[in-house]
Amino acid sequence: MKTKLYVLYGGKSVEHEVSLKTAVTVLHSIDESRFEAYPVYITRDGLWCSPGQLSKEGLSVERLMAIPAFRDPARSIGDVLSGMMALPGPKVVLPLLHGSNGEDGTVQGLLELLNVPYVGNGVLSSALTLDKAMSKQILAQAGIRQTEYRVCRFEEWRAEKAAILHDVENSIGYPCYVKPASLGSSIGISRCTNRGELLTGILEAFAYDKKLVIEREVNGREIQVAVLGNERPLASLPGEFIHDHIFFDYESKYMDKRLTMSIPAKLADGLTSRIRELAVLAYQAHGCEGLARVDFFLDGEGELYLNEINALPGFTNFSMYPVMWERTDGTSYSELIEKLIGHAVARHEAKQTIRYTR
């Protein structure tokens, strides 16, 4: 019997479009001799629905979108769960939801209650990795170097603007980056070189989140590492994008056709192994399982700073995560999906041995 693979995509998130692009690539790659794919589209309003079974031929973002039968989120979720996801036989859920309401532990919590295996990180690690402020505390406790930063909450900003600006300018300085605490794909992030830009950047970030992180700029290279696995994770060879952007923002990441990947990244002797070790350490410190991409800054003096961990990195054919594995050990895109499904099933089976009664 084929395993039913429920692919969740879209989502109530500003990274909605990124999720749709990921879903197209994943659905194209699924081995139909082993898996029966059931696409589940989540609208921008958080409504669940499905376009039905789709063939790979002519698969596109537009075809993945559907009109929900119910306008109430609870009824739409219930319709999908009681219908499609209640079908008999082995099943696995593949959440391809980037950002809030999907990558932050919310959907993972629902899947835990349903007691179904799902690909990727669990509730806690999903929440920790998406929240940059909390993640930085975990990294500090693990003794992993980071750049200077400050966390600011909206109510604190309203009450103490002058003091916060003074603190940022004296402890962090310019250039600095202002980031929504819980968001990805460089959305809502600003590079600030003076007070006027800092004020604008703070207001921009608060439009996406009520907590933000302000960081000192590290002038250097951004090195990425793909990590895969549960209890004994493995790290890929490091990679980097070659570009000439001062700030690698959303448009630069997704629109610039001139981007090229350097995998493995050209690094000094010993640095490659050190980066891979640190990536695994950060992964385990957050309790990650399944997958994550760990991003570092490497400055001109050869010092490493961990930038962030992405629990659901970009996953198209041209994304760094799958390409790093292909160039590390020859794992193809389809094989990588199957490895992730295998880790999901193994974690779920291990959890079934836990006792919930005395």
Helix (H) or strand (E) holding 339: helix 333-351
Name the catalytic one among 15, 215, 217, 289: 15
Helix (H) or strand (E) holding 4: strand 3-10
Q: Which residue is it, tokens 């990294």? A: 139
Name the catalytic one among 126, 185, 190, 236: 185
CA 51 – CA 63 distance, rounded (Å): 7
Active-site annotation holds for 15: yes
Q: How many Å separate Cα 32 from the centre of its chain?
A: 26
The torsion defined by the Cα of 136, 137, 141 and 144, in degrees rounded to 10, comes to 10
* DSSP β-ladder status, 211-216 and 220-229: unpaired
Q: ∠ at Cα 85 (79, 86), nearest 5°?
A: 90
CA 239 – CA 219 distance, rounded (Å): 18
Is 13 within 8 Å of 19 (Cβ atoms)?
yes
Active-site annotation holds for 319: yes
Is 104 within 8 Å of 126 (Cβ atoms)?
yes
Cis peptide before 264 (omega within 30 of 0): yes
Does 310 carry a binding-site annotation?
yes
Does 244 carry a binding-site annotation?
no
The region that residue 106 occupies, defined by phi over 0 for left and psi between -120 and 50 for alpha, beta otherwise, is alpha
Measured between alpha carbons, how far is residue 201 from residues 64, 303, 308 in Å? 34, 27, 20
Dihedral sign of CA atoms 18, 24, 29, 33 in order = positive
Name the catalytic one among 13, 19, 100, 319: 319
194 three-state secondary structure? coil
Half-sphere exposure of 33 (CA within 13 A, CB side): 1
Instruction: Work out the number of other CB atoms within 10 angstroms of the CB of residue 302.
Output: 10
CA 139 – CA 32 distance, rounded (Å): 40
Structure tokens at 128: 């920790």
Does 231 carry a binding-site annotation?
no
Annotated binding-site residues for Mg(2+) read: 295, 308, 310
Annotated binding-site residues read: 295, 308, 310
Give the residue numbers annotated as catalytic, written as ranges: 15, 185, 319
